[in-house]
Amino acid sequence: MLQQQIDNLRQEPIPPQSLFIGGKWQTAEAGGSLDVASPIDGSRLTTIADADAFDVDRAVQAARTAFDKGTWSRAAPAERKKVLHRIADFIEKHALELAVLGVRDNGTEISMALKAEPGSAAGTFRYYAEAIDKVYGEIAPTAENVLGLVHREPIGVVGAIVPWNFPMMIGAWKIAPALAAGNSVVLKPAETASLSLLRLAELCTEAGLPDGVFNVVTGRGAVAGEALGLHMDVDVLAFTGSGGVGRRLLEYSARSNLKRVYLELGGKSPNIVFADAPDLDRAAKVAAYGIFRNSGQVCVAGSRLLVERSIHDAFAEKVAAIAAGMKVGDPLDTATEAGAINSAEQLSKTLSHVEKAVSEGASLKTGGKRILEETGGFYMAPAVLDAVRSDMTLACEEAFGPVLAVMPFGDEAEAVRIANATTYGLASAVWTANLSRAHRMVREIRAGVVHVNTYGGADVTVPLGGVKQSGNGHDKSLHALDKYTDLKTAWISLS
């Protein structure tokens, strides 16, 4: 039944897409458009508007006008809560439609997309809907005859730029807390994953979000993204993506109005398996799925597998066997375990990482080749590379594809050194039955998230953020609200 519904939805034509500004569909000023190619078969799905700086300015003006009007920004938190819950209701009502639309656009396997995209997005909107009327200001312990109050206020216009791997999930991490706090938002999706977020904008309006509070501008990052970064009336910029783009956004802030810039810039996350792990078979399966689901296109993917030397050979073979047995293919098939690479460009980059690793001395145990080329889509067999050293490119650079680097270690101290020997610090994991060791590793590993005897699954109740060059600030949890609120002090004489 589910598969039939999916197959029906995949056949639905997608009309050319416009910009969503001020609660209305609007064409790009210059009339330009970009083709949207499906990674499933390489076919042309539709077009999206190619926004320029003028279009971005229109969206920011709409957001500012809505903010200044106060219908949303000065609404009681309980009123904003009602609308956010209705948005979650609409997402859940249209969950299958949104998931299939997103998969046709970005290639994530549908079994993962249903949970990670509309499922996660609806939960995120509900979380911040419930949170916002429970966040209080403060009364300061001031001197006698003085009342010191600390108010939390919305900042203004939030610019959000999100990637193509999980557009709805990551989009919701930024949109929901920003809206809950009373801000207006201008969202710029990735060129290769805009469709589900455009549909979300429409659903937000249907749910009662006032016009101009949420706007979506599509187009090239080098044009629309740059215009958003440089805009003098954007107060906060929240971004998930590559380090190179993150650096440019910081430059744009310095060149414009010193807007706050919050960055989540990916990782090269270590998944560390000790010989005393409580269940090595489970650890091997979780390690494989922790890198190969969504074809490795996951910010927190466990792309470096560190294995204690005494179990290294056998464990590496287990993981390679699981990788070789995974079903890679049509992401709209519910039996598929790893879908498509997002684009031909990304596939080429990922394959080049495998080639370079082999040229530097790594041993390719399985995969690493393009497959299903006859479909016209962008598919790759999951690659497991053994004997990877910390000085190899694959150990240092994020491939952002189904490529696993296996690295042996001798003891706990060496595991920590290898784990921390990158410029990244987003996620990590430790597998051990030794509770004291687990706590030591949590303390010693430099990463925003340390999993113990698992990988992935951290929900919206806990923060996600990186250290080192994985970025700053946090998505998820109550801490995300800090990015989208200002503190204002009222110092009141009572004498």
Backbone angles phi, psi at 90, to 5 degrees: -65, -40
pLDDT at 361 over 90: yes
Provide mean pLDDT across the span 348-370: 98
- Cα 368 to Cα 215, 264, 335, 383: the distances in Å are 40, 27, 22, 4
Nearest to 396 by CA among 429, 352, 353: 353
Q: Where are the domains of the chain?
A: 2-265+471-489, 270-459
Provide mean pLDDT across the span 334-363: 98
pLDDT at 144: 87
The Cβ-side half-sphere exposure at 34, using a 13 Å CA radius, reads 22
Nearest to 175 by CA among 471, 393, 406, 481: 481
- Cα 287 to Cα 270, 396, 429, 454, 466: the distances in Å are 10, 19, 10, 9, 21
Nearest to 28 by CA among 233, 219, 205: 219
Which CATH entry fits the domain spanning 270-459: 3.40.309.10, 2.60.40.1080, 3.40.50.12780, 3.30.365.10? 3.40.309.10
Residue bearing tokens 């709409």: 62
Q: Which residue in 117, 226, 264, 337 is the catalytic one?
A: 264
User: CA 59, CA 54: separation in Å to the nearest integer?
Assistant: 9
pLDDT at 143: 85
Side chain identity, residue 32:
G
pLDDT at 173: 98
Side chain identity, residue 133:
D
pLDDT in tens, 37-50: 999 999 999 999 99
Residues with Cβ within 8 Å of residue 12, at least 6 apart in sequence: none
User: CA 118, CA 98: separation in Å to the nearest integer?
Assistant: 7
pLDDT at 222 over 90: yes
pLDDT at 444: 98
pLDDT in tens, 109-152: 999 999 999 999 999 999 999 999 999 999 999 988 999 999 99
Quote the mean pLDDT of the chain: 98
Residues with Cβ within 8 Å of residue 433, at least 6 apart in sequence: 276, 277, 278
| CATH level 2 (architecture), domain 2-265+471-489 | 3-Layer(aba) Sandwich (3.40)
Tokens of 410: 């001798």
Contact 356, 391 (CB under 8 A): no
Buried-state track 210-247, b at ≥16 Cβ within 10 A, e below 16:
bbbbbbbbbbebebbbbbbbbbebbbbbbbbbbbebbe
Q: What is the reported pTM?
A: 0.97
C-beta neighbour count of 248 within 10 angstroms: 17
pLDDT in tens, 155-195: 999 999 999 999 999 999 999 999 999 999 999 999 999 99
Say if strands 379-380 and 429-431 run parallel, antiparallel, or are unpaired.
Answer: unpaired
Provide mean pLDDT across the span 325-341: 98
Tokens of 227: 């215009």
Examine the residue annotation and report whether 202 is marked as an active-site residue of this protein: no
pLDDT at 57 over 90: yes
